């Protein structure tokens, strides 16, 4: 049995607590959060203890920690946990500062402890199936990748102010997804963006609608579209045009009923909340992490992936600022 400490007691931490507690090879031992009441509520729900972070990291009986704290603590906690001999699954992004993330990457490598980064969308069954079909050559060579990611509504302004911005908070998932699907990072990125959903987001120094185009060494391309608002639900789609065909991963709908009448054909809307959309992916992510620890399998998404996705976010941010494409190698 793998004993686990959970750092963080927010919404995502609760999702992870469910995955940890329901897995046959892991046991949630303790949770820590600066908000003691939140930690106490989560702990009582899952029958574990509330401890300080320092106590969890010092406990030699705890084999692994899951880090679901605020982003500005990720690098430091990963360094402390691996130095204490623990395996780590850390929510994205690695850090808001690319240089700090690279420093963390080097320090963690020296410990030899496994560290997995929480890009959970890789574990979505539909996206994973699309990636496998592409890797098997079912549509030939990939030529154009399109990723759509629209949220139902923007997060609170107070969250926006500390999130690191759309590219590092929201689109970073799509940067990693592009790398996952393509099997490589782009050589050049170009971004356009604006604040058209909520003017308060612009006042907070961020954007709410963005498009990034990317070019690869072989001449193939990718486009990522993000919006903080889609009135009809949580819109998450992938499409890859290949030399021999097309692969598409469509939205998950609220139900599978399709009504066909003389007035037309009507189906359900996409699921509204991201936890509904990606709960199976969170469970599969934890399964994969357990396989890394118990079966010594390769880490499916590690620090290298986290750092390159953050570098792509930095490149997009710079491209938006200077109004021209940016080479990833110069970031």
Q: Is residue 282 part of a domain?
A: no
105 and 134 in a single domain? The answer is no
28 and 103 in a single domain? The answer is yes
Instruction: Pull the structure tokens for residue 104.
Output: 């963390």
141 and 182 in a single domain? The answer is yes
22 and 151 in a single domain? The answer is no
211 and 324 in a single domain? The answer is yes
Check pLDDT > 90 for residue 269: no
* Interval 203-228: pLDDT, tens: 999 999 999 999 999 999 999 999 99
139 and 249 in a single domain? The answer is yes
206 and 78 in a single domain? The answer is no
Whole domain around residue 182: which residue ranges?
122-277+308-330
Q: Please report the pLDDT score of residue 62 as a whole number.
A: 98
* Interval 222-259: pLDDT, tens: 999 999 999 999 999 999 999 999 999 999 888 889 99
63 and 132 in a single domain? The answer is no
Distance (Å, whole) CA 93 – CA 117: 8
Check pLDDT > 90 for residue 50: yes
- Domain count of the chain? 2
Which band of pLDDT confidence, cut at 50, 70 and 90, is reported for residue 278? confident
Q: Is residue 215 part of a domain?
A: yes
User: Is there a contact between 2 and 266 (Cβ–Cβ < 8 Å)?
Assistant: no
232 and 163 in a single domain? The answer is yes
Q: Please report the pLDDT score of residue 194 as a whole number.
A: 97
Which band of pLDDT confidence, cut at 50, 70 and 90, is reported for residue 51? very high
- Average pLDDT on 143-153 reads 97
Distance (Å, whole) CA 40 – CA 158: 24
Is 272 exposed, middle or buried (CB count within 10 Å of its CB: 0-12, 13-18, 19+)? middle
Residue after which a domain boundary falls, among 61, 79, 113: 113
146 and 266 in a single domain? The answer is yes
What residue ranges in the chain does DSSP mark as E strands? 2-7, 26-32, 49-50, 64-67, 87-91, 115-118, 142-150, 188-194, 209-215, 221-227, 235-242, 245-249, 258-261, 264-267, 326-327
With CA atoms as reference, report the closest residue to 304 among 67, 71, 117: 117
128 and 176 in a single domain? The answer is yes
Residue after which a domain boundary falls, among 63, 90, 113: 113
What does the mean pLDDT of the chain come to?
96
Instruction: Pull the structure tokens for residue 267.
Output: 């189906």
Distance (Å, whole) CA 228 – CA 156: 11
Distance (Å, whole) CA 93 – CA 233: 24
CATH number, domain containing residue 96: 3.40.50.720
Q: Is residue 164 part of a domain?
A: yes
87 and 135 in a single domain? The answer is no
CATH number, domain containing residue 271: 3.30.360.10
């Amino acid at each position: 049995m793998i004993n686990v400490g959970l750092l963080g007691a927010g919404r995502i931490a609760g999702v992870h607590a469910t995955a940890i507690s329901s897995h046959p090879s892991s046991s949630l031992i303790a949770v820590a959060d600066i908000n003691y009441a939140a930690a106490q509520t989560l702990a009582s729900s899952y029958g574990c203890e509330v401890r300080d972070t320092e106590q969890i990291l010092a406990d030699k009986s705890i084999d692994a920690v899951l880090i679901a704290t605020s982003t500005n603590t990720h690098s430091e906690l990963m360094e402390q946990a691996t130095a204490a001999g623990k395996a780590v699954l850390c929510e994205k992004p690695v850090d808001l500062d690319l240089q700090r993330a690279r420093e963390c990457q080097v320090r963690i490598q020296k410990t030899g402890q496994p560290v997995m980064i929480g890009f959970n969308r890789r574990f979505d069954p539909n996206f994973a199936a699309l990636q496998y079909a592409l890797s098997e050559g079912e549509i030939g060579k990939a030529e154009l990748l399109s990723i759509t990611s629209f949220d139902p509504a923007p997060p609170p302004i107070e969250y926006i102010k500390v999130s690191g911005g759309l590219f590092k908070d929201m689109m970073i998932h799509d940067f990693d997804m592009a790398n996952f699907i393509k099997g490589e990072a782009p050589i050049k990125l170009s971004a356009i963006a604006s604040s058209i959903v909520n003017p308060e987001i612009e006042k907070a120094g961020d954007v709410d609608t963005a498009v990034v185009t990317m070019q690869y060494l072989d001449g193939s391309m990718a486009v990522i579209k993000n919006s903080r608002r889609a009135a009809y639900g949580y819109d998450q789609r992938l499409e890859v045009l290949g030399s021999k065909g097309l692969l598409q991963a469509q939205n998950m709908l609220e139900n599978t009923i399709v009504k066909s009448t003389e007035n037309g054909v009507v189906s359900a809307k996409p699921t509204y909340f991201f936890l509904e959309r990606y709960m199976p992916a969170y469970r599969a992510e934890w399964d994969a992490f357990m396989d890394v620890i118990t079966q010594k399998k390769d880490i499916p998404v590690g620090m290298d992936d986290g750092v390159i996705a953050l570098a792509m976010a930095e490149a997009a941010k710079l491209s938006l600022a200077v109004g021209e494409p940016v080479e990833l190698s110069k970031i």
